[in-house]
């Protein structure tokens, strides 16, 4: 009934009447996402009628009402087949200022029309394969980048930027060819990075360092949403960027990593928005070549160095030997390096563990990131080792028992999800410099057995990667308890079926193999 009345007015009424009836329809169906199949044909005709109105010279308020209803109707995939034509797509592109003209965004009265047109395009492109093909034909990605360049430094049009970025994300998600076009032809990496810089109001203090105001206000909801959409689009643009081929690529990735470091050190308007912002930053950091992740940490400024010395002087005498300390402004420091961003990643990881669900999607990206950072950058590994695997003092409880980060990660080493337990074990193994004896010290043999078996290290040894030698970190408590550990040894079966230490069992099988190698 609503569609019949709206369709009648749209076909025969004047602009004022059209605006009123469509505004009523929009108010009534604003939260409608499932539609009656019996009214499908009426909705198709209403869509066609709205497109015919949109080509006329009508007031801006009437255009907005038309587009609001079109956005609601475009949630229904079935009605989009007859209305998704090149002509209709071009109507929306013109209204969204995505045509090829050089018009600037000066008329504030047009902004609601631009935003609603972009929303319609988001729905239509997402729900219609025909629209996706037409997007390629109409070179929509290039038009979206052009619109972004017009408004990248204009904070008062954040809604336009937000839905432009969302549409760019959808296109790059649905078409792998567009990812390559964005990366190289349209210079999407520096463009989207600049969008993030603008959203975060970054002020650079050095080539890859930004000023952080720890007492500053949180990001606004609009800035946060823009940043999240830009992060998602950048993820698609860089998803295949595992290797850096040119120095200019390396520079761009370092700039982006520095922006992401800034992102990790600020907060959104709510705790949930902050987590969403940081989650997307973690996903994007996973695409950055590991050699460029050194910008996540940076040397202390002269002011911070003086502050660190003051803090060390205030520590008790038995604590001043520790290389990690906390400055008065809550900056995490290790070996003269600012570790704030790494500390945020570590806290983010622990929160994801504490959630207790969706580990594969929510936890493995940050665990993988921390593992690769630790493997490639010595200072990051040593800081994380200090935080996750501090000198062992509790030698009475099993490694998986307790509430420390180490206890939580050790529990994950026997998780039912193979991917989760592998990356948790790998992270701890890297922190132990891939030394089996060190891993067993912190995790116990049973928890580490899966990783050691997969690496062929059940009999001991170390992994393939080289790490620098560090000082002995064994505590007196551990040294006293260490001899008792000899009660637990890896065991194996001898050829006669009896149990013996694993090394002896393996040697006997080697002898048998050598003896039988000359027989046919």
Which two tokens mark 312? 């060390």
In a domain, 372, yes or no: yes
- Look at 171-180, 187-196, 223-232, 502-511 and tell me which has the smallest mean pLDDT: 502-511
CATH classification at residue 1: 1.25.10
What is the band of 287 on the pLDDT scale with cuts at 50, 70, 90? very high
Is residue 375 a contact partner of residue 428, using CB atoms and an 8 Å limit? no
Specify whether the CB–CB gap between 197 and 259 falls below 8 A: yes
Alpha carbon 132 to chain centroid distance?
A: 25
Residue 369 within a domain: yes
Domain presence at residue 73: yes
Q: Is residue 65 part of a domain?
A: yes
Question: What is the average per-residue pLDDT within 430-442?
Answer: 93
Angstrom distance (rounded) from CA 182 to CA 195: 15
Is residue 70 in some structural domain? yes
The total domain count for the chain is 2
Residues 394-412, mean pLDDT to the nearest whole number: 91
Which of helix, strand or coil describes residue 40?
helix
Of the candidates 319, 503, 468, 300, which has an alpha carbon nearest to the alpha carbon of residue 381? 468
Q: Which of 132-141, 296-305, 475-484, 505-514 has the lowest mean pLDDT?
A: 475-484
How wide is the angle at C-alpha 510 spanned by C-alphas 506 and 515, nearest 5°?
150
Q: Whole domain around residue 391: which residue ranges?
A: 332-506
The residues facing 244 across adjacent strands are none
Instruction: Please check whether residue 97 lies inside any domain of the structure.
Output: yes
Checking if the pLDDT of 477 tops 60, the result is no
| Rounded CA separation 263/506 (Å) | 52
Taking alpha carbons only, the member of 169, 74, 183, 177 closest to residue 130 is: 74
Could you tell me the maximum CA-CA distance found in the chain, to the nearest angstrom?
A: 99
CA distances (Å), origin 78, targets 2, 83, 393: 19, 10, 65
What does pLDDT average to over the chain? 86
Q: Could you tell me whether strands 499-501 and 491-493 are parallel, antiparallel, or unpaired per DSSP bridges?
A: antiparallel
Residue 472 has pLDDT above 60, yes or no: no
* Cα separation, 339 vs 332, whole angstroms: 5
Q: Is the pLDDT of residue 324 over 60?
A: no
To the nearest whole percent, how much of the chain has pLDDT over 90? 62
pLDDT at residue 493 tops 80 = no
112, part of any domain: yes
* SS3 state at 231: helix
pLDDT band with cut points at 50, 70 and 90 for residue 240? confident
The phi and psi torsions of 434 (rounded to 5 degrees) equal: 60, 35
pLDDT at 50 over 70: yes
φ/ψ of residue 299, rounded to 5: -65, 155
Residue 109: band (very low, low, confident or very high) from pLDDT cuts 50, 70, 90: confident
Domain boundary among 93, 108, 138: 138
Contact call for residues 419 and 377 (beta carbons, < 8 A)? no
pLDDT-derived band of residue 121, with 50, 70 and 90 as boundaries?
A: very high
Give the pLDDT mean for 12-18.
89
Would you tell me how many other CB atoms lie within 10 Å of the CB of residue 203? 11
Asked if 6 and 25 touch (Cβ cutoff 8 Å), the reply is yes
Last residue of a domain, one of 105, 138, 171: 138
Whether residue 4 has pLDDT greater than 60: yes
Percent of the chain with pLDDT over 70: 82
| Residue 308 to residues 319, 326, 335, Cα–Cα distance (Å) | 14, 8, 11
Residue 314 has pLDDT above 90, yes or no: no
Q: Out of 138, 155, 176, pick the residue that ends a domain.
A: 138
Mean pLDDT of 97-126: 88
Domain membership of residue 56 (yes or no) is yes
Confidence of residue 495 (pLDDT cuts 50, 70, 90): confident
Contacts of 129 (CB under 8 A, 6+ apart): none
- The single-letter DSSP state of residue 219 is P
User: Checking phi first, is residue 493 left (phi over 0); if not, alpha (psi -120 to 50) or beta?
Assistant: beta
| Angstrom distance (rounded) from CA 385 to CA 391 | 9
């Amino acid at each position: 009934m609503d569609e019949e009345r709206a369709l009648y007015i749209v076909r025969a009424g004047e602009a004022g009447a059209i605006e009123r009836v469509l505004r009523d329809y929009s108010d009534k169906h604003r939260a409608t996402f499932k539609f009656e199949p019996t009214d499908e044909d009426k909705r198709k005709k209403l869509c066609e009628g709205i497109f015919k109105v949109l080509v006329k010279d009508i007031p801006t308020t009437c255009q907005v009402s038309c587009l609001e209803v079109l956005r609601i109707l475009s949630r229904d995939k079935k009605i989009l087949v007859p209305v998704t034509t090149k002509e209709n797509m071009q109507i929306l592109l013109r209204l969204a200022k995505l045509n090829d003209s050089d018009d600037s965004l000066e008329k504030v009265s047009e902004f609601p029309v631009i935003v609603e047109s972009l929303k319609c395009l988001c729905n239509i492109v997402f729900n219609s394969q025909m629209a996706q093909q037409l997007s390629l034909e109409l070179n929509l990605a290039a038009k979206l980048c052009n619109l972004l360049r017009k408004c990248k430094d204009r904070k008062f049009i954040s809604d336009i930027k937000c839905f432009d970025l969302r549409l760019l994300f959808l296109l790059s998600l649905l078409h792998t060819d567009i990812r390559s076009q964005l990366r190289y032809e349209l210079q999407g990496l520096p463009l989207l990075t600049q969008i993030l810089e603008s959203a975060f109001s970054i002020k650079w203090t050095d080539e890859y360092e930004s000023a952080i105001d720890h007492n500053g206000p949180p990001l606004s909801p609009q800035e946060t949403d823009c940043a999240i959409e830009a992060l998602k689009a950048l993820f698609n643009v860089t998803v295949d960027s595992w290797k850096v081929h040119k120095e200019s690529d390396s520079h761009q990735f370092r700039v982006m990593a520095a922006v992401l470091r800034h992102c990790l050190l600020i907060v959104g308007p709510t705790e949930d928005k902050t987590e969403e912002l940081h989650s997307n930053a973690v996903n994007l950091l996973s695409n950055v070549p590991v050699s460029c992740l050194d910008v996540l940490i940076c040397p202390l400024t002269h002011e911070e160095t003086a502050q660190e010395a003051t803090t060390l002087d205030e520590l008790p005498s038995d604590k001043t030997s520790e290389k990690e300390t906390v400055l008065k402004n809550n900056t995490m420091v290790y070996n003269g390096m600012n570790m704030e961003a790494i500390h945020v990643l570590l806290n983010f990881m622990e929160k994801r563990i504490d959630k207790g669900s969706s580990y594969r999607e929510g936890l493995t990206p940050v665990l993988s990131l921390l593992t690769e950072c630790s493997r490639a950058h010595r200072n990051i590994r040593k800081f994380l080792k200090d935080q996750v695997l501090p000198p062992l003092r509790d030698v009475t409880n099993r490694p998986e028992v307790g509430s420390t980060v180490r206890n939580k990660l050790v529990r994950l080493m026997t998780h039912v999800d193979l991917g989760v337990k592998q990356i948790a074990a790998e992270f701890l193994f890297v922190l132990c410099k891939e030394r089996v004896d060190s891993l067993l010290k912190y995790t116990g043999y049973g928890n580490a057995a899966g990783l050691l078996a997969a690496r062929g290290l059940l009999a001991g040894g170390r992994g393939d990667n080289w790490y620098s030698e560090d000082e002995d970190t064994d505590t007196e408590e551990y040294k006293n308890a260490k001899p008792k550990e000899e009660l637990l040894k890896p065991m194996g079966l001898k050829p006669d079926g009896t149990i013996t230490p694993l090394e002896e069992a393996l040697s006997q099988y080697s002898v048998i193999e050598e003896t039988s190698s000359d027989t046919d």
